[in-house]
Amino acid sequence: MAKDKQKTRRPKKQKTRRPKRVISGEIDEANISVPKPKKFSTNKFKSKRAAAMANVETLLTALPHHSISQAKDFVRLHPDEEKYWSPELCFVNVPVKGQKRDTLHLIDEELAMRYLPSARILRFRLALATKPNDVFFLCHVPSQNLDNNWNASNQQACEQAKTLWVQATSRKEEGVEAYKIDIARDPDAFPAPKWPTQTLDEIIGRTFEGRMIETEDHPGLLRLIGAKQSVS
């Protein structure tokens, strides 16, 4: 009977913890949100130098130089004749040891006239030119004997190439002493040239560096007149 008299104990109610509120600067811990980890991206670490340098012009170094027909392709000449076509210049071909072909040199006209026969002196202009896709070269433009069919047709091709894609081909095999001038069928067949901003003098100077005869002791002139060259 003693057991019956014992009171049945009820389980104590667990106290519900109320979330703390922010009162006078106190922190409500229950409402604190844990920040989610940021998703990694490589964008921040991308190399941007190539993109930033894409529009920087590449300076031209020494260029090949030849007539428009020797390009054996469609050609454009710079449309600004005043800035990118030279005046008539003086040249000579100099034999160079170890090379099969003579090397073209610029020469001061007074030196050329003083030491060389007139037949050895070449006179023509240089114009900045390009094949399709900015393959630049210096084009030899005739400036003398324009009554000669070769020179006349050559000069005509150069003039047309200021605004059109032109190809000049020798007609010698046909028995014709002149060049055949062909215009590209479609004016936009090739991208418009991206002409460099370097001056023509800078381009010619780089192209003929070491091959400009300006003094009497230049090895090129000594070779042409058969004078003994000093051995350094």
Give the model confidence (pLDDT) of 4-28 as tens digits.
545 556 655 555 555 555 545 555 5
- Which conformational region is residue 196 in: left (phi greater than 0), alpha (psi within -120 to 50 degrees), or beta? beta
- Mean per-residue pLDDT for 214-218? 95
Q: Largest Cα–Cα distance of the chain, in whole Å?
A: 151
Q: What's the confidence (pLDDT) of residue 61? A: 83
- Direct distance between the N- and C-terminal alpha carbons of the chain, in angstroms, rounded to an integer: 135
Other beta carbons within 10 angstroms of residue 21's beta carbon come to 10
User: Which range among 28-42, 47-61, 129-143, 204-218 shows the weakest confidence by mean pLDDT?
Assistant: 47-61
Running DSSP on this structure, what letter comes out for residue 229?
P
- Label the pairing between strands 166-170 and 135-142: unpaired
Strands (E), the chain: 65-67, 76-77, 89-94, 103-107, 122-131, 135-142, 166-170, 179-183, 212-213
Task: Map out the domains of the chain as residue ranges.
Answer: 65-225
Which residues 6+ apart lie within 8 Å of 34 measured at CB? Answer: none
Average pLDDT, the chain: 85
Q: What is the pLDDT of residue 51?
A: 45
**pTM for the model:** 0.74
